[in-house]
Structure 1
């Protein structure tokens, strides 16, 4: 093969394989390859070398790809673990928000009750119109009984004051009539006398439980909260008490708020 002034034989073959030879150089090289066995051998070696290099490059790319896959899998696993960890955290945060809202609502309700609670509200909610028992109505009725059933409370008070002798029922009905007439101090006085009479009585105490409840209400309306609370507690602690269903825990809570405001 003719020698090139600037290119070695290997460089010339390399350019041949890269398609970088001019037409004249290409023609000369092809003629040389036909006649020169050593040159053809060198070209074959160069071709094999290039094929091995390409294969190594391909293998290297494959290794990089496999490594990328290995890197992706742990990341996916970590992502799944993060999601699993985030779910309980989300539930916990949601529960905290619910508890926070409930606390705010309870505080708001408590503040509202504290501002608005007063003896009149509790009294109006707790007061029950007293009606004579059926067996009492069927028995011989007195003038005072008739006046009470007619809701003539002033008439009941007048009749009670004019009687020389008064029964336990007369005391109790007169006390309720005082309460209906908004004379709570007088009602308390009569109920206390009725309580004292029951303590010394050996017979059946007919209005014992009624006296507990209505005296507590009379104390409440008269502003004597400290005297009202023990009577309400007495009723609430006795499930068999006649007025137990009317004294709830909410009643005590309101009374405590009322006591704090004093």
Structure 2
């Protein structure tokens, strides 16, 4: 089987236990495969939704043809013809009136199935790593830092830290940061982001906490708070991360208030329930 066929069989539940176990192991190691599986599941849910919409249109058309707000018509094989049949009905057909609430029940049931399916997909695929990657991928590193210090002169270690950070050379940032005797809040912020990019979450948390505690760093407090929350998320401290991000979203004056959409926050709450 090629990759697409395996994804299709996985989504449909057609893999045998051995194939299923192997496929799930592959998904754990391949984030792209996870995304393809979720995209396929969502596409199937959308197709089901489209089918339901077509059924609703058919119901409306039948109601309009009947001219009644409370009934729709279904054609069933004729078993008995009588002289009392309404004018215009063919002899081989029989018209059966169906109360509108029955059709509404079918529509509601279909919508419920789609909603449950969507929630199941979201719940099954949610992880701290996934939500962290979504945010960090959409937020370029903050570059508007100034050391406000004579140490940040051309050729100094502080200046090298700044340059390497701007070019995304995070290993070099951390190496140079370790050589600084008295790093400013700007260098500590850069180191915190570099730690985050390197997956060294505990050190990243410590660095961003130090920035937030530095009174002279008030101009980048919002940035440090936001990345601190992401560091907690990457570290698996779900409740702390979610609580911080919800506070950020509610603060109209916060620099990152607009970065967190309602759907993302809903998924964060779902993640909190899951863990």
Given the two structures, how large is their TM-score scaled by the length of structure 2? 0.57
**Partner in structure 2 of residue 222 of structure 1:** 235
2:205 to 188, 191, 201: 188
How do 1:119-198 and structure 2 match up within 5 A? 119-127=128-136, 128-133=139-144, 136=146, 142-197=159-214
Q: Confirm or deny that 1:213 pairs with 2:201.
A: no
**Partner in structure 2 of residue 113 of structure 1:** 122
Q: SS at the partner of 2:219?
A: coil
Q: Deviations over 1:196-232 (max 9, x none)?
A: 22xxx2x561211111211111101101011101110
Unaligned runs of 5+ in 1: 1-82
Q: CA RMSD in A?
A: 2.6
2:259 to 243, 246, 255: 246
In the TM superposition, residue 97 of structure 1 has moved relative to its aligned partner by 2.4
Q: Deviations over 1:123-176 (max 9, x none)?
A: 11111221412x859x96622110111211111112212112212111111100
How do 1:45-84 and structure 2 match up within 5 A? none
Contact 1:168 1:207 (8 Å CA) reproduced:
no
Q: Deviations over 1:168-200 (max 9, x none)?
A: 111111100011111111100111111122xxx
Rounded Cα–Cα distance in structure 1 between residues aligned with 2:201 and 2:128: 13
Contact 1:168 1:206 (8 Å CA) reproduced:
no
Q: SS at the partner of 1:162?
A: coil
Given the two structures, how large is their TM-score scaled by the length of structure 1? 0.60
Change (3 A) 1:232 1:94: same
In the TM superposition, residue 251 of structure 1 has moved relative to its aligned partner by 2.0
Higher strand content, 1 or 2: 2
Rounded Cα–Cα distance in structure 2 between residues aligned with 1:193 and 1:84: 67
2:71 to 65, 86, 89: 86
Contact 1:219 1:228 (8 Å CA) reproduced:
yes
**Partner in structure 1 of residue 249 of structure 2:** 236
Larger radius of gyration: 1
- Structure with greater contact order relative to length (CA < 8 Å, sep ≥ 6): 1
Rounded Cα–Cα distance in structure 1 between residues aligned with 2:69 and 2:250: 51
Higher helix content, 1 or 2: 1
